[in-house]
Structure 1
Amino acid sequence: MSEPENIDVLIIGGGINGCGIFRDLSAQGVDCVLIERDDFCSGASAASSRLMHGGLKYLETGEFGLVREALVERNRLLANAPHYVSPLPTILPLRSHFSGIWPSVKRFFRFKAKMIDRGSLITRAGLLVYDTYGRRHKSMPFHRILNRKALQKLVTGMDSDIIAAGLYYEGQLTHAERLGLELLLDGEKLNPGSRAINHAHVIGTQGDCVTYQQGDSIQTVRPRIIVNAAGAWIDAVNHELGIKTALMGGSKGSHIIVEHRALYKALNGHMIYFGTADGRVNLCYPFMGRVLIGSTDIPVEDPDTARCDTQEVSYMLGTMREVFPDVDISEEHVRYRFCGVRPLPRADGDIGLVTRDHSIAEFTFGPSTPVLCLIGGKWTTFRSFSAEAAWRILAHLGKPRRTKTEDMAIGGGQDFPRNPADRTRWINRVADVSGLPAGRVGTLLRRYGTTAERIAMTCTEETMLRSLPDYSSEELGELCRSERVGTLADLLLRRTLIAMLGRLTAEVIEETAGIAAAALGWSNRRRVLEAVSVPLGEPAAYRQIDDAVTFKAHG
């Protein structure tokens, strides 16, 4: 057996918290190994509402610090990841002027209270606080209160009981999975001594060493520090390390993507963020030509069993009828459904009142190796949470911080053309050097940001897919070769939005399996297995099966 590899930090978990801390530490010259049992950003990080937001509802529970932090980070992401994060005008419907004051007071002091309606008075107060906290790096307009007539000009068909609305702005995240991947790829560029490995899992420990396996490759490392960034699986990972904890108390959140032309048109580019009769807050907004609707908030013990079930789909469709009563929407309009388990700290009582803030718990592995568990957090605050954790790790290692990440662009957001004139120039330049039509380069820019130039240079002679005429075999082959694609699901669910936009068919699976097989050297047997392993009915429920692991090693 070979000697263990000495490394600075082992990160277990490739969700957004793990990706963020990997990039931050790599930028400081810290040698990191990140392992993820499935694919990067395949758990809760792939199943959020895809918003970069402050969290208006968290003001009701007194989490002012979290809201302030999230709004600052939202504004930074609009600057650092403009290829995937963009402003989203948001409508908050109002059915009264004075409702919600007393329930808000009770919730502020952590008493249980159902918030059925938020009147204009409490809404205006909350939006004023929101504007104040969002002044730093301000990139979007302040809020406005609209009367019914003004609201009708923006969004049509809303329930007649809605008398007014608040109009404010949040950030929309189109391709969460790719943004997480880009953090890892950026981290490896910043420090060639770091590496991120997907489809790898811990198989044993001894002393101060950890052994993990990817396919038929087994590696043992001796880390100076371990970061447990496994989200809802933190306690399970701690158990593998011989540490008994009960830190996590997850909540299942489900969403659906619907194809409904009338609803999409009525929204007119706006998100509707609304309270429902059961006291929850829900949302819907235009997403890549469809409509994203969410979400539920259900306690769950085992995150591996979480699925978006038919009752949740019915619930979410029902909430839409409360706001758009004349829109005929049913399950036949659903193109995709997905769920994730929020990595919340274990707590008693109403799951909706459990903090969404982040924290770090520290334990010891083996004789003296620190284990930092990253608990909670939101997509919006991943950078600041990573910075907080990095400071603690650097102190343990006795290393200085070389660089800050506040203004560090991410992946395809680097040198991204910010206005139409600059985009046209960028597209024309890449079209000239690649030989691709300008329209095709524009499509690649929308999908990948400035990473599109690298992809375009591999697509000088393209063969467009029969089943997906706006994708080419060269484009998908380049993603397979350069972006750690380990399974067909990695390609269809995370490197692209093919599955999420409801474009997954038997023909798509068959054709893309052939492309992946050619790019990655899969055997015919492996290609067939990958094709049948992606379920058409509910692709987001995909979990890599044991046979797939076997064939990854031998095929």
Structure 2
Amino acid sequence: MTQHPALSSSVQDGEAVDLLIVGGGINGVGIARDAAGRGLSVLLVERDDLAAHTSSASTKLIHGGLRYLEYYEFRLVRESLQERERLIHIAPHISWPLRFVLPQPKGGRPGWMIRIGLWLYDHIGGKQSLPGSHGVDLRDPRWGEGLKPGLTRGFVYSDAWVDDARMVVLNAIDASERGARIVTGTAMTGARVEGEEWVVSLAPNPSRPGLAAPLQVRAKAVVNAAGPWAGNLLDGVDGVTREGGITLVKGSHIVVPQLYSGDHAFILQQDDGRIVFTIPYEHRYTLVGTTDVLVAADQRDRPQISPEETSYLCAAANAYFTREIGPDDVVRSYSGVRPLYDDGTADAKAITRDYVLQLGRRSTPQVLSVLGGKLTTYRRLAEHAMDELGPWLPRHGDGWTDRAALPGGDLPAGGFAAFLASCRQRWPFLPADVAERMAHAYGTRIERIIGAASDWAGLGRDFGAGLTEAEVRYLVTHEWARTAEDILWRRTKLGLGAGPELAQELTDWLAANG
């Protein structure tokens, strides 16, 4: 298969770049996009797939973090709300507003406290386009359908939903098209300083196509955006210091058959002081999460939900909804390990979600470690990273990412609804659900997949579940997809409704055509 030139994994032994970024999660690709758009030469390496770990295991929200107000994280909430506003405008195909219903149970936070918190949430971020908060009668089926009869009072407020893994990929695509090289299946294995440059050793991941052979590259600066591995990536590198550390917190989610009708989410107060979200998911399901569990370093590679976490999330939902669920109702679960800055807090739910950027050297060449952070603030984090690294990098342009749409996000007037209607009119042979899914996933770039096809057969092999050969070829050629898991769970969510036969067919096709 011919690979798109922008996605070439060719890296020459001994070549030099301005900035080497280690880690293909949201923070790494966000920094790569920002830096490449400023005119710097950028190389990003990722050991596995883009968004293979924490960045595809979130609650899929762009939000200010209402509960962070209880911990006086006012700057984080304000910045997050400002970023929420920006992201729903630069990525309107993969993100959209979502209303949240907050029932008020007996023994929960008092109503006056919630009203004050919601008023602050409505105003602390400045001018916002989303509707404000207000009280609701939960006996009104618009808001309370599916809830237990005793829940009669509540509140409603706004945040936004996002396809987290696609946000990562779209940032990587934009970085690549602006000159950055994104190389997956490649690990950093060592680094040393020579004069005013880093000499970094890279090696292929034997379990994933990527770098052909071990080699070394030179860089004026390095960004350590390795997520849960950031605390150990620079161990043993002479001259690098680090303050504090990382606390690893596992967050788990379950997906269950739809608990209620409506396109709003719920935020459920728990007796232990935590909150749990229930969110409409892929039309037929409800996403329930998240937990907060402190974990050791040996659990970060392949985190899995524990039976206790499953029971906790089921009990959290059962306390509110008439349709009760148990472990047997879970159709999928996923867990991610969040690398939070170690601020000495023992309680996982209270550890700050704010990010910390640490410079590791007093002289050239510089290294910047990214600790903590949340999906919502990745773009601002990237700007701050460029500010911190500025003195150690060649002269470059100013920030720009707050106003440039992510790939596919340049929707025509009328927004997503008008765009979807135009897609259905232009390609009437697409099933309605497929047209909607692809319009969301690819935005205006959907035409790059469909091309000149005039019927379903023109899209090539039909793998089932609405996935065609044309889409698979696009994902391999333009989006770094290499495995069935990449395609079915990160580039799309088709794995939810597909059986193992589709995954095997896809694996066989990739082996024959990769």
TM-score by length of 1: 0.82
TM superposition shift of 1:476: 1.4
The answer for unaligned runs of 5 or more in structure 2 is 1-11, 205-210
Instruction: Tell me which residue corresponds to 1:82.
Output: 92
Instruction: Tell me which residue corresponds to 2:185.
Output: 199
Instruction: Tell me which residue corresponds to 2:256.
Output: 258
- Paired with 1:328 and 1:272, the residues of 2 have a C-alpha distance of 15
2:411 match: secondary structure: coil
Match of 2:293 among 298, 308, 313: 298
Instruction: Tell me which residue corresponds to 1:168.
Output: 157
2:384 match: secondary structure: helix
Match of 1:352 among 341, 349, 354: 349
Instruction: Tell me which residue corresponds to 2:409.
Output: 413
Match of 2:447 among 446, 453, 461: 453
Instruction: Tell me which residue corresponds to 2:115.
Output: 124
TM superposition shift of 1:428: 3.4
Matching residue's letter, 2:266: I
Asked whether 1:139 is paired with 2:139, we answer no
Q: Deviations over 1:300-350 (max 9, x none)?
A: 1212252112221111111111111x3131222211110111110122421
- Paired with 2:63 and 2:82, the residues of 1 have a C-alpha distance of 9
1:142-221 maps to which residues of 2 (within 5 A)?
142-150=132-140, 152-173=141-162, 175-190=163-178, 192=179, 194-207=180-193, 208-214=198-204, 215-221=211-217
Match of 1:25 among 22, 26, 35: 35
Does the C-alpha gap of structure 1 residues 515 and 64 become closer, same or farther in structure 2, counting only changes over 3 Å?
same
- Paired with 1:253 and 1:386, the residues of 2 have a C-alpha distance of 24
1:411 match: secondary structure: coil
Instruction: Tell me which residue corresponds to 2:279.
Output: 285
Asked if the contact 2:47–2:187 (Cα under 8 Å) also holds between the matched residues in 1, the reply is yes
Match of 1:323 among 307, 317, 320: 320
TM superposition shift of 1:373: 0.6
TM superposition shift of 1:170: 0.8
Instruction: Tell me which residue corresponds to 2:263.
Output: 269
Q: Deviations over 1:474-515 (max 9, x none)?
A: 22122122211233322222112123xx23422112211122
Matching residue's letter, 2:256: V
Q: Deviations over 1:342-362 (max 9, x none)?
A: 110122421211111111111
Asked if the contact 1:143–1:168 (Cα under 8 Å) also holds between the matched residues in 2, the reply is yes
Does the C-alpha gap of structure 1 residues 275 and 3 become closer, same or farther in structure 2, counting only changes over 3 Å?
closer
Asked if the contact 1:464–1:470 (Cα under 8 Å) also holds between the matched residues in 2, the reply is no
Asked if the contact 1:11–1:35 (Cα under 8 Å) also holds between the matched residues in 2, the reply is yes
Matching residue's letter, 1:154: W
The answer for unaligned runs of 5 or more in structure 1 is 100-116, 521-555
Q: Deviations over 1:32-61 (max 9, x none)?
A: 111111111111111110000000000000
Aligned residues between the structures = 482
Matching residue's letter, 2:123: T
Matching residue's letter, 1:202: M
Does the C-alpha gap of structure 1 residues 162 and 328 become closer, same or farther in structure 2, counting only changes over 3 Å?
closer
1:7-86 maps to which residues of 2 (within 5 A)?
7-86=17-96
Structure with the higher helix share, 1 or 2 = 1
Match of 1:474 among 464, 470, 477: 470
- Paired with 1:30 and 1:455, the residues of 2 have a C-alpha distance of 30
- Paired with 2:453 and 2:307, the residues of 1 have a C-alpha distance of 42
1:512-523 maps to which residues of 2 (within 5 A)?
512-520=506-514
Does the C-alpha gap of structure 1 residues 451 and 294 become closer, same or farther in structure 2, counting only changes over 3 Å?
same
TM superposition shift of 1:149: 3.4
Say what the alpha-carbon RMSD is for the aligned residues.
2.2
Does the C-alpha gap of structure 1 residues 503 and 241 become closer, same or farther in structure 2, counting only changes over 3 Å?
farther
- Paired with 1:437 and 1:309, the residues of 2 have a C-alpha distance of 40
1:166 match: secondary structure: strand
Asked if the contact 2:56–2:165 (Cα under 8 Å) also holds between the matched residues in 1, the reply is yes
TM-score by length of 2: 0.88
TM superposition shift of 1:459: 5.2
Asked if the contact 2:223–2:370 (Cα under 8 Å) also holds between the matched residues in 1, the reply is yes
1:42 match: secondary structure: coil
TM superposition shift of 1:77: 1.0
1:323 match: secondary structure: coil
Q: Deviations over 1:430-468 (max 9, x none)?
A: x3xxx95585655421332112111111755134535x2
